[in-house]
Chains A and B, each alone.
Chain A
């Protein structure tokens, strides 16, 4: 004797009770030869749509329960791209049996494919209310639709509220269904909010389901690179490269970039050559290749690679910055000026571009504009105290002020540089130039002292004698120090 509600099955890792038969409408009693839903299902799963269509046309008028006929007809129309007919047939199927949640889900999915997102959201909300159990597909689509509504929403409060609701639905989908798409979308939401650690945790949980999914591994490695953990990213990408022989360009690009940041130029170039064989039209690839050749001091090849990158992507800020850097290194200051002007027009709040512009204008003998550019760069660098300190900008401004005779401003900038650079590991060139500037500033101040002493000489003979005695002792030491540093 069958008792409803007594069986329990393991569904997606969770024990649920089987729904009772009262949930769905009882099927009308028909002779066994009249019910051909099984045959329709066989034809549909074999994707023989012409036979399905003929069978539906023949049986539609004399079938006692045509719900499944309309359902399959709607699915076939959607497969063939006729969304309006599909929607009409699915709505007929929903009218025949309003308690079937699958039909509502298919209606919502059709509306989603058609691009009517607000109506799809309404249909999925109705399906969520009607459904008696937690359905991961409904939660996933609700999260997807709310996320899309949040991105197109103009008001910030409503957008953030919808985004929080989308995250809640994605978490429900992950708990109930454990599907890959829900994990990926939830990680995207956290990444958009710049919560990289949470996104990494979610994708690590996702790896328990699919340990060898290369897309998830690549996404994890990119997130590790965002939080500057190069070793973990390298390990993940090594897994990806070992899993797939023909790795995707995303993974190879990230792997090559890690090798390049570790100054393994030949390894990075071999990875990039693998990408260039498959897809040669990636602007980011040619940008990285240009930087590889820049490290090898091959300026002409680097310039041609970066010009190809700028050709493929004209509004690429990083490529324009790198191209101007290589132009300055190869002493082509006029071209560097034009490239820097383009880069500054793209991002007006970047201090490094203004520093390079000042450096370039100094070589082009335009001292006033060089001073204005370096001053703006220094104010930007000090303004962004919390985000990304850049002591090179301040040091260059100090050196330029000394060179053009602005000693007080140079001293101020030097002190600012020393305060910024206390807890940083600087290259030796920076330290050398800083100590040279320090000694030069000291000499200049002492020169001012000598002038004061010469003013005192006219007053008394004793002062004159003492000044003449002190001078030969102090000056040779400073001169020797400067000479030894050179």
Chain B
């Protein structure tokens, strides 16, 4: 009895619907912007940016040194 019931029980499966939802007409609606893939940078562009960053850092250091050198002369 229990074995037969177990056999029949295993064969129970939920029923899936076989038809989807159709569209009968085309309506105009608001569109979204598409998601964008960020472009990868080339190696030359990377090097150029690194050079620019180094140059900016050096200029900033020079300005700081000038400020430090002008301060004691101002105090004197």
A residues neighboring B (CB under 8 Å):
222, 225, 249-250, 253-254, 257-258, 260-261, 282, 284-285, 287-288, 290-291, 294, 313-314, 318, 321-322, 325-326, 328-329, 352, 356, 358-359, 362, 392, 395-396, 399-400, 402-403, 427, 429-430, 433, 436-437, 440, 443-444, 447, 475, 479, 482-483, 486
Contacts and interface: CB of A to CB of B under 8 A. Distances in A.
A284 B20 CA distance: 13
A399 B12 contact: yes
Nearest to A254: B24
Contact of B12 (A294, A392, A402, A482): A402
Contacts of A433: 12, 15
B16 to A, nearest CB: 6
9 contacts: A253-B23, A257-B22, A325-B17, A328-B16, A356-B17, A400-B14, A436-B8, A440-B8, A444-B5
Contacts, number: 91
Contact of A314 (B5, B16, B26, B32): B32
Given A321-B21, A440-B9, 12 more contacts: A282-B26, A314-B32, A328-B16, A359-B14, A359-B16, A395-B15, A396-B14, A396-B15, A399-B13, A436-B8, A479-B4, A486-B8
Nearest to A252: B26
B20 A440 contact: no
A251 to B, nearest CB: 10
Contacts of B32: 314
Contacts of A479: 1, 4
A253 B24 contact: yes
Contacts of B71: none
A291 B4 contact: no
Interface in B6-40: 8-9, 11-18, 20-26, 29, 32
B24 A313 contact: no
A437 B13 CA distance: 11
A341 B22 CA distance: 20
Contacts of A443: 5
